[in-house]
Amino acid sequence: MKYVDEFRNGALARAVAAEIASVTDPQRHYKVMEVCGGHTHTIYRHGIKDLLPDQVELVHGPGCPVCVLPMGRVDEGIEIAERPEVIFTCFGDMMRVPGSKGNLLEVKAEGADIRMVYSPLDALRIARENPDREVVFYAIGFETTAPSTALTLQRAKKEGLRNFSVFCNHVTIVPPVRALLDSPDLRLDGFIGPGHVSTVIGCRPYEFMPHDYGKPCVVAGFEPLDLLQSVLMLMRQLGEGRCEVENQYGRAVPWEGNLQALKAMAEVFELRPYFEWRGLGFIAQSALKLSPAYTDFDAEVRYTTPGVRVADPKACQCGEVLKGVLKPPECKVFGTACTPERPLGALMVSSEGACAAYYNFGRKSFEKVEIGSRP
Amino acid sequence: MRDAMPASYCTLDHDGCVVCADAGIPVRVVSVEGDDALCEDAAGNRAQIAVELVAPVGTGEVLLTHGGVAIGRVAAQEEDSQ
Ligand code: SF4
């Protein structure tokens, strides 16, 4: 399969793994964070961890938008979905994220008109087909997804659709990474940057990592070889004492990003002064809301959501896992009170959530993990 | 190749999270119709993709799509050299 097979070649992967081993200092322990949930998924699915030397530890970052959504925002979405005039549309994974009183799937079972869509453009189509109903789209995601919401809103405005609105929960990737770097309980050696976010925002936004924090960053693609090569590039930087942003995923990531997409986002969105992240707390300028030009399409304005704050369940340790302080199986309820079938925390819901990825694919390595054995 | 999906439904799939996160799927443009293009993924699934954000596009180009919208391109030279 073109674009896929060449990045899953086993012999090549072993050759890159051998090279990684050859540049690894056996006296040193390396902690590398993959920011993006898509990378976490690839790492477990393809057993990348088993190919790396023991000295190289991969830490999972906050890059799964479902997982970082605070409970209050889930509850507010549910409140809108329960209104009789509303057709509520959202991505599939969103349906199972637990709010304080259940999830969207349960509300749907009780009769709310909630529909799963693959694209915000599908929500727009539903609005066109149901002029007597109010169609709300639950927008969620990083800069990969934000352009599709922006484009959908631009089309809605052009068409003059009045029964369509967006409950905007888009977040941005740089502020949480900065917050992690500022947090004292985490010592990292470098970052694997998110590939598809970077297709949109380019590589420049990561320059603060080497400049302000002295941490190298390699923007990586999503196939197993992409990831291995990125680890190699990082290890080489560390070995040679270099510290810069490098782009492993050049075939899809232009250094400047996608200017057309950024322009659409700039027209439709503006930065929120602050936004709550599950496990990370409030982070300044870390999320998007609709710009004044799009207020008519803003579900938060249309339905005056109160902005409630709901604390996570006590047993849940998603925050520590999100910050990379704990590994998923080190959470007290992992695999017992919290499983993909009955998730307690959001990290168990999405296939990109670190806990779900660990649960589904990481069992082998999971058995090997000695809890608390790593520095 | 599988049957073409109804063009109004976007069902391109890929392993990983297809719904909301950092997933991008490479697809080849089959035909362009205004702001949309009929595209085909590696498994032969076809879907209508919005292409305003990468316009102009031509038949045969490889785009990276996310949730029914093209967000980037896959460069031809590297695609062949790797
Ligand atoms: S096991 Fe469940 S509760 Fe614990 S960190 Fe993972 S998702 Fe959160």
CATH number at residue A56: 3.40.50.11740
Kindly state the percentage of chain A with pLDDT values over 70.
93
Check whether residue A341 and residue A256 sit in a common domain. no
Under a CB-based contact definition with an 8 Å cutoff, are residues A58 and A43 in contact?
Answer: yes
DSSP state of A27: T
Residue A260 has pLDDT above 50, yes or no: yes
Say if A328 falls within a structural domain: yes
Check whether residue A323 and residue A304 sit in a common domain. no
Say if A373 falls within a structural domain: no
pTM for the structure as a whole: 0.83
Q: What's the confidence (pLDDT) of residue B23? A: 63
CA of A320 to the centre of ligand 1 (A): 9
Say if A374 falls within a structural domain: no
**Which of A312, A337, A360 is where one domain is finished?**
A312
Within 10 Å of residue B34's Cβ, how many Cβ atoms?
8
Under a CB-based contact definition with an 8 Å cutoff, are residues A350 and A360 in contact?
Answer: no
Q: Which residue has the higher pLDDT, B12 or A169?
A: A169
What are the pLDDT digits (tens) for A118-150? 889 999 999 999 999 999 999 998 998 999 999
Say if A196 falls within a structural domain: yes
Check whether residue A65 and residue A153 sit in a common domain. yes
Q: What's the confidence (pLDDT) of residue B82? A: 35
Q: What is the mean pLDDT of residues A175-201?
A: 87
What are the pLDDT digits (tens) for A332-356? 888 888 888 888 877 887 766 788 8
Q: What is the mean pLDDT of residues A216-220?
A: 95
Rounded Cα distance, A372 and A208, in Å: 31
**Which of A285, A312, A339 is where one domain is finished?**
A312
Question: Which helix or strand (DSSP H or E) is residue B69 part of?
Answer: strand B69-73
Q: Which residue has the higher pLDDT, A180 or A7?
A: A180
| Residues B71, A148: C-beta atoms closer than 8 Å | yes
Residue A363 has pLDDT above 70, yes or no: no
Check whether residue A217 and residue A174 sit in a common domain. yes
What pLDDT band is residue A362 in, cutting at 50, 70 and 90? low
Name every protein residue with a CB atom under 6 angstroms from any ligand 1 atom.
Answer: A 316-318, 321, 328, 331, 333-334, 338, 344-345, 347-348, 355
Q: What's the confidence (pLDDT) of residue A247? A: 95
How many domains is chain A built from?
2
> Closest to B71 (Cβ–Cβ): which among A42, A194, A200?
A200
ipTM for this model: 0.76
Say if A41 falls within a structural domain: yes
Residue A369 has pLDDT above 50, yes or no: no
CA of A349 to the centre of ligand 1 (A): 9
Most confident of A71-80, A125-134, A176-185, B65-74: A125-134
| Residues B72, A125: C-beta atoms closer than 8 Å | no
Residue numbers in B near A352 (CB within 8 A): 16-17, 21-22
Q: Residue A268: which residues within 8 A CB-CB, separation 6 or more?
A: A149, A150, A153, A154, A290, A291, A293, A294
Q: Which residue of B has its CA nearest to A352?
A: B17
Domain that holds residue A72: 1-312
Ligand 1 atom with the smallest distance to the CA of A332 is: 4
Q: Which residue has the higher pLDDT, B65 or A346?
A: B65
Check whether residue A328 and residue A303 sit in a common domain. no
CATH 2.30.30.140 fits B18-81, yes or no: yes
Ligand 1 atom with the smallest distance to the CA of A331 is: 4
Check whether residue A189 and residue A234 sit in a common domain. yes
What pLDDT band is residue A259 in, cutting at 50, 70 and 90? very high
What are the pLDDT digits (tens) for A282-338? 899 999 999 999 999 999 999 977 777 777 777 788 878 877 778 888 888 888 888
Rounded Cα distance, B51 and B32, in Å: 9
Rounded Cα distance, B10 and A282, in Å: 35
Question: Which helix or strand (DSSP H or E) is residue A245 part of?
Answer: strand A245-247
Ligand 1 atom with the smallest distance to the CA of A338 is: 2
Average pLDDT of chain A is 86
> Closest to A140 (Cβ–Cβ): which among B20, B66, B69?
B20
Q: Residue A213: which residues within 8 A CB-CB, separation 6 or more?
A: A181
Check whether residue A184 and residue A250 sit in a common domain. yes
Q: What's the confidence (pLDDT) of residue A244? A: 96
Check whether residue A118 and residue A161 sit in a common domain. yes
| Domain spans, chain B | 18-81
Check whether residue A283 and residue A165 sit in a common domain. yes
What pLDDT band is residue B18 in, cutting at 50, 70 and 90? very low
| Residues B50, A140: C-beta atoms closer than 8 Å | no
> Closest to A151 (Cβ–Cβ): which among B10, B19, B53?
B53
* Identity at A276, one-letter amino acid code: E
Q: What is the mean pLDDT of residues A222-240?
A: 93
Report chain B residues touching chain A, CB-CB < 8 A: 8-11, 15-24, 26, 42-43, 50, 52-55, 62, 64, 66-69, 71-75, 78-79, 82
Check whether residue A219 and residue A239 sit in a common domain. yes
Nearest to A158 by CA among A70, A264, A84: A264
What pLDDT band is residue A375 in, cutting at 50, 70 and 90? very low
Residue A235 has pLDDT above 60, yes or no: yes
Q: What is the mean pLDDT of residues A163-169?
A: 96
Residue numbers in B near A140 (CB within 8 A): 20
Say if A265 falls within a structural domain: yes
CA of A155 to the centre of ligand 1 (A): 39
Q: What's the confidence (pLDDT) of residue A5? A: 56
Check whether residue A209 and residue A264 sit in a common domain. yes
Residue numbers in B near A62 (CB within 8 A): none
Residue A193 has pLDDT above 50, yes or no: yes
Q: What's the confidence (pLDDT) of residue A186? A: 73
Q: What is the mean pLDDT of residues A234-248?
A: 95
Residue numbers in B near A42 (CB within 8 A): 16
Q: What's the confidence (pLDDT) of residue A101? A: 82
Check whether residue A178 and residue A163 sit in a common domain. yes
Q: Residue B74: which residues within 8 A CB-CB, separation 6 or more?
A: A3, A251, A252, B26, B62, B63, B64
